[in-house]
């Protein structure tokens, strides 16, 4: 019984996890979409706070917005390409092109407002 509960908990937690991008899938995942990419590091406490806010925003965000994550330690080339030097950083993409970067923790209202102003 404990194993079943544990498996259920893992499946629920993974349902709210955002897909990680890498050099192989980056271009194909963002092309033709409105995308927010969270550049983060596992050792970054503010990144964890922003992740919680992104999970809350994910519940209310429009269907035409997709959220992905990039671990800066695992993907240094993508991180360098977009000039990420401070964490946490969100980069907003429209049809494969970076259109805005926001640095720091943002509230759900700020995430919603930024997405509305960028993607509408």
Catalytic residues: 44, 47
Contact, 34 vs 64, CB < 8 A?
yes
Q: Tell me how many degrees the CA angle 52-108-61 measures, rounded to the nearest 5.
A: 95
């Amino acid at each position: 019984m404990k194993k079943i509960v544990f498996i259920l908990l893992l499946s629920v937690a993974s349902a709210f996890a955002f897909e990680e991008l890498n050099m192989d899938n980056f271009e194909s995942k963002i092309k033709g979409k409105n995308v927010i990419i969270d550049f983060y590091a596992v050792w970054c406490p503010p990144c964890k706070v922003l992740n919680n806010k992104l999970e809350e925003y994910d519940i209310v965000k429009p269907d035409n917005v997709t959220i992905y994550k990039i671990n800066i330690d695992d993907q240094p080339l993508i991180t360098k390409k977009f000039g990420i030097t401070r964490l946490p950083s969100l980069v907003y993409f429209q049809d494969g092109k970076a259109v805005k970067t926001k640095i720091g923790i943002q509230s759900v209202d700020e995430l919603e407002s930024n997405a509305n102003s960028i993607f509408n």
